[in-house]
Amino acid sequence: MSESEQGLAEVQRAHWQQIYGEHPGMYGEEPSEPAVRAAAVFRAAGARQVLELGAGHGRDALYFAREGFSVMATDFSPVGLDQLCEAAAAQGVAGRATTAVHDVRQPLPLADASVDAVFAHMLLCMALSTQEIHALVAEVRRVLRPGGAFVYTVRHTGDAHYQAGTGHGDDIWEHGGFAVHFFPRDLVDDLAKSWTLDEVAAFEEGGLPRRLWRVTQTVPR
């Protein structure tokens, strides 16, 4: 990681810590639409264990737990994960939800082929370089079992905030304090090499609205 990338990563980590601290449960308790769809994909594949990357305060991780999955939720914000743990206890699913503070720029703290399914809602389009995104997806493939599914969402270059605000290079643009790596379609295809690419679905979320892709890819058996 270059010095400028390291600096941006540290600024973003501090920003998210502050946001979660000032706005507990900021995304509410209802799961995201991609999480609901992912649960159906995971269930059809016979998954029991789900790893969520960038879980934040846990609205989607807690949904997976309520749906009967065993969930490991990771995030680089201890504040967000503390809120997740409190909510898990209140909802009676603490036994199915574990957390780990983890920066996805580092290797995942899991053994090879040890996870049934992985979910990441807008995590891959954080302030990560293209090289870091490729490394992360390689780690996801390493920890997934054969036949395991990876469902992720990313904002793409058709989004209204693409090329707005402060540019950091590598299609990373910062607007309102949030740095986003906007995905061109060829990056999605590159990340799916050596996988089976099952679906790339366009959808919208939020008030702008944000324009995203929901990508489902599986490890060949």
pLDDT tens track for 62-110: 999 999 999 999 998 899 999 999 999 999 999 999 999 999 999 999 9
CA 119 to CA 52: how far, in whole Å? 5
- Cis status of the peptide bond prior to 24, with omega within 30 of 0: no
pLDDT tens track for 104-156: 999 999 999 999 999 999 999 999 999 999 999 999 999 999 999 999 999 99
- Domain range for 196: 3-218
pLDDT tens track for 42-57: 999 999 999 999 999 9
pLDDT tens track for 176-213: 888 999 999 999 999 999 999 999 999 999 988 999 99
Domains identified in the chain, total number: 1
Residue 191 belongs to domain with CATH number: 3.40.50.150
Task: Decide: 118 and 148 in contact? Cβ < 8 Å.
Answer: yes
User: Read out DSSP for 108-158?
Assistant: -SS-TT-EEEEEEES-TTSS--HHHHHHHHHHHHHHEEEEEEEEEEEEBTT
CA 69 to CA 187: how far, in whole Å? 30
Rounded CA Rg of the chain = 16
Question: Which of 108, 183, 195 lies closest to 151 in space, CA to CA?
Answer: 195
DSSP-derived secondary structure letter, 182: P
